[in-house]
Amino acid sequence: MMVPQNRAYFPALTICPETGYKRHVLAEHGINKTKEYNNLDTGNMTWWSKTSNISAMELFNEITYSLDEILEEVLIRIAKSAKVIHAIIDIDNGLESMSF
């Protein structure tokens, strides 16, 4: 369904890094391939560290990327009538600049 831009909601975004997991951190925990950590096709899912006693959740948090590790800024361009609004959002510091 098409609606005028000024009535449209900003779409939800999913941002994924190419590799998904930090392979070097997996290796530090004794998991040599991402498919050893999470492979639903074979049922091979090692959701725990082989080298430390951290929880599955702690391991997940260590091996996955935080938003500021994969995204530096967001540029939002909105056209309103004859004006174009640019907003650059710095992930760490919030709104960095806005121009009309």
pLDDT at 96: 52
58 vs 92, more confident: 58
How confident is the model over 11-45, as pLDDT tens digits? 667 777 777 899 999 999 999 888 888 888 887 77
pLDDT at 69: 85
| Residue 95 backbone phi and psi in degrees, to 5 | -65, 125
pLDDT at 100: 46
Is residue 93 over pLDDT 70? no
Is residue 90 over pLDDT 70? no
User: What is the rounded distance in angstroms from the CA atom of residue 72 to the CA atom of residue 88?
Assistant: 10
How confident is the model over 40-81, as pLDDT tens digits? 888 777 788 999 999 999 999 999 988 888 887 777 666 665
Domain ranges in the chain?
12-65, 72-100
Q: How far is CA 67 from CA 16, 17, 25, 28, 72, in A?
A: 9, 10, 17, 22, 9
58 vs 91, more confident: 58
* Mean pLDDT calculated for residue range 74-100: 59
